[in-house]
Amino acid sequence: MKNIGIIGGGQLGKMIAISAKEMGNNTIVLDPNPDSPAFGVSDEKIISEFDDLNACDMLVEKSDIITYEFENIKLDSVQYIEKYRNVFPSSKVLSISQNRILEKEFFKNNKIPVAEFNLVKSEKDIIKFCENFNFPVVIKTATEGYDGKGQKIIKNFSEIPSSYREISKKNKEIIIEKFINFDKEVSVICSRDTAGEITSFPISENIHVNHILDKSIVPARISKTLENKINSLAEIIVNQLELVGLICIEMFVLGEEIFINEIAPRPHNSGHYTLDACDTSQFDQVVKILLGFNTYKPKLLSPVVMFNLLGDIWFDNLNPNWNKALMTPGSKLYLYGKHEPRIGRKMGHINILNNSLDEAIKLSESCKSMLYD
């Protein structure tokens, strides 16, 4: 098989590496953290900063094909690596996903529905936008924002000065968007292989708490019309990006309307349900594409609820009651191997499968509560 290079050694890199190993491949992981979870399952590790070109050369030398597990890496490094090895998804896709301004302009240019937006260079730009579109609005850093970081909701004119000062300290490039008072948040994991075949996983309905994903419910409780619309939009986005690889597309649902929020060209937290509830996982799909294999449309084998295990659990209870929680029928635990629990840090997840989606939701809630018993 192949030597697969992975930029990033977190839980996503770990699960890509596990899938790659199951298919008989070697993995080489680049990450600056010597305790990175993926190092525990990879064949080789390169402990170095992502922008260290010597480390990039080592990764190139050892790898036949390269991917990355998250988008907040140095674009220059990926472009450098791309001179010598194929990187999937490409640096072009990465550059768009890294910058909210480029991302929104890409959507707009391709007639993909998004919330009204504009660039912000001063408080006056925010005031003018709010006069045109009313409150609430959201201001965001153009780069390096995830899980609610680097953004602020503004509800009235008096909040503008302090919000602008806070966000402008973090990043000089700022974007403002009309806040969508959505009914649901959903996402779809979509892939395109080297032959150009596009396939999508079942749509996930996502519930966030404090801007961090709390649970994913699959299948999403939406109409067939919306489901078709979402998959059609996903196909347009993937084609226009000329994607080779896997991408998560996050969206807001308002009535029967869809607004694209953002893209992440990698496996995604909201796709962890695929590990147990589909006939192929998002990680298997990544590896198949890296190997040049053809892909087929994944099938949902069972309704499922995935809920995240944040570091908060260990602060609330030093010894979570795994025994009692895992007595829940249809439960499957994944702990990522991170050494230090922190508030808001994703330490693992549990998938709950059941023939009834309503029952899976109830079981997920009781399973989570049992961790504290």
List, for residues 154-187, the tens digit of each pLDDT value.
999 999 999 999 998 877 789 999 999 999 999 9
On whether residue 99 sits in a domain, the answer given is no
Structure tokens at 342: 């922190």
Q: Give the structural domain span for 64.
A: 3-87
Q: In the 8-state DSSP scheme, what is residue 211?
A: T
Quote the number of domains for the chain.
3
Tell me how crowded residue 124 is: count the other CB atoms within 10 A of its CB. 11
Q: Looking at residue 156, which CATH number applies to its domain? A: 3.30.1490.20
**Domain edge (last residue) among 162, 178, 194:** 178
Query: What pLDDT score was predicted for residue 85?
Result: 98
Using CA atoms, how far apart are residues 87 and 201, in angstroms rounded to an integer?
23
Same domain? 293 vs 195: yes
47-51 average pLDDT score = 97
Q: 148 with 286, same domain?
A: no
Using CA atoms, how far apart are residues 41 and 184, in angstroms rounded to an integer?
36
H or E element: which one contains 317? none
Output the pTM of the full model. Answer: 0.95
Has residue 103 been placed in a domain? no
Q: Do 152 and 262 belong to one domain?
A: no
Q: Where are the beta strands (DSSP E) in the chain?
A: 3-7, 26-31, 44-47, 65-68, 117-120, 137-141, 151-154, 174-178, 184-192, 198-200, 204-209, 212-218, 245-254, 257-264, 304-310, 331-335, 346-353
- Between strands 26-31 and 44-47, the pairing is parallel
Q: The CATH number of the domain where 25 resides is what?
A: 3.40.50.20
Is the residue at 366 inside a domain? yes
Mean pLDDT over each residue of the chain, to the nearest integer: 95
Residues 280 and 137 reside in one and the same domain = no
Residues 236 and 357 in one domain: yes
What is the strand order of the sheet 26-31 is part of?
44-47, 26-31, 3-7, 65-68
Q: What is the pLDDT of residues 249-289, one digit of tens each?
A: 999 999 999 999 999 999 999 999 999 999 999 999 999 99
Residue 321, class by beta-carbon neighbours within 10 Å (0-12 exposed, 13-18 middle, 19+ buried)? middle
